[in-house]
Amino acid sequence: MKKIVSIVLILMMMTGVFADTAVPTLYSELPFELSQEGDIFTIILDENGSTGYTWSYVVNKEDHVKFISDEYVSKSNIPGAPGKHHFTFEVLADGVSTIDFKHHRSFEENSTIDTIDVLVYKNGEKVFVEENGIVTINEPVLISEPIKSGVVVSEKMLEMDTAIQTIDGVTMVPVAETLRALGYDVKWVSETQSIEISRNAQWTSITIGKNAYFKNRMAARPLSAAPVIYNDRAMVPAEFFNVILDLGIQVEEGQIEFNEYGMSAYSGYIKEIKINDKGVVSLFLTYEEGAEMVDVVIHTSNETTFVQGSIKVGDQINALTSMATTMSIPPQTAGYIIY
């Protein structure tokens, strides 16, 4: 049955079922002035050198963004009058980088009073210069609100006293009941408000309220939310089961299934979002593979995808998807969890 579903999905992608009919409008409120012409752009920041506070910058990828010049401009001829500092850069190639600005006294340690993190992204002729993480659109594009009817393990619906919940925009799943049905040993440690999880050679530990997840005793990593207690049950974000435990995940009609099947995973920046008249939201994702930027289109919907919060153009996201992709350029696939 699942093979048939995958084949139908591929045919739908290839025959244009996912064609777009609407594109959200991009806007942002930047904490700086921006002048841009093609690949050359200027960041303009308020400055008053008479106070001793000036702006400085660090380009994180100089092979991607090149500094050209900086100039202090004041409308007054009076010495010490406030003005604006112009920093001009050029984007050299496709990719993503950041420029870190800080407002400080260069002669005084620990004097920073303001910082700005600028994201510079280019793909083909498209160049975005935005405050990192502040790119928005006219309305939230997609917040996962599917009907969550339950959890399926080995094609059997689990009977649980606490259902899947959306908490602060994140799909959270009861961890103990789900994992015990999958053959894991789950132990609650009341002294540390933590849970130890193990099966054969696998081991991990989670702590309530702490967004730090361990995988086989490796360094902790954050997910879309920290574990929480809801209705006396510990809940974890849905992606935990794949990212930390390597379980397969599928979503159908808002119902989540855990299995041993493989999944694909992508991590990159959303460069475009399109929505068709059937409500299918397509994310045009670009990610770094070797020395090149590669594109993939991820199709989502409220029935087949859990989106952990809202997403927008410019966001860096992780996507857990079907392993089935089209042979088109760029390839297309179905998304199950976006976080």
Query: Which one has a higher pLDDT value, 19 or 217?
Result: 217
Query: In sequence order, which residues have a C-beta less than 8 Å from that of residue 8 and are 6 or more positions away?
Result: none
Q: What is the mean pLDDT of residues 307-324?
A: 88
- Res. 162 pLDDT band, cuts 50 70 90: confident
Domains of the chain: 2-25+262-338 (2.40.50), 29-134 (2.60.40.2020), 151-248+255-259 (3.30.457.10)
Q: In the prediction, which pLDDT does 19 show?
A: 36
Nearest alpha carbon to residue 162 among 152, 175, 144, 147: 175
Q: What's residue 33's pLDDT?
A: 93
Mean pLDDT to the nearest integer, 16-22: 35
Residue 113 vs residues 5, 32, 43, 110, 152: alpha-carbon distances, Å: 56, 15, 18, 9, 52
Q: In the prediction, which pLDDT does 122 show?
A: 81
User: What pTM was estimated for this model as a whole?
Assistant: 0.59
Average pLDDT on 201-206 reads 86
pLDDT in the model for residue 141 = 37
Q: Which one has a higher pLDDT value, 97 or 162? A: 97
Spatial CA neighbour of 43 closest among 4, 88, 84, 77: 88
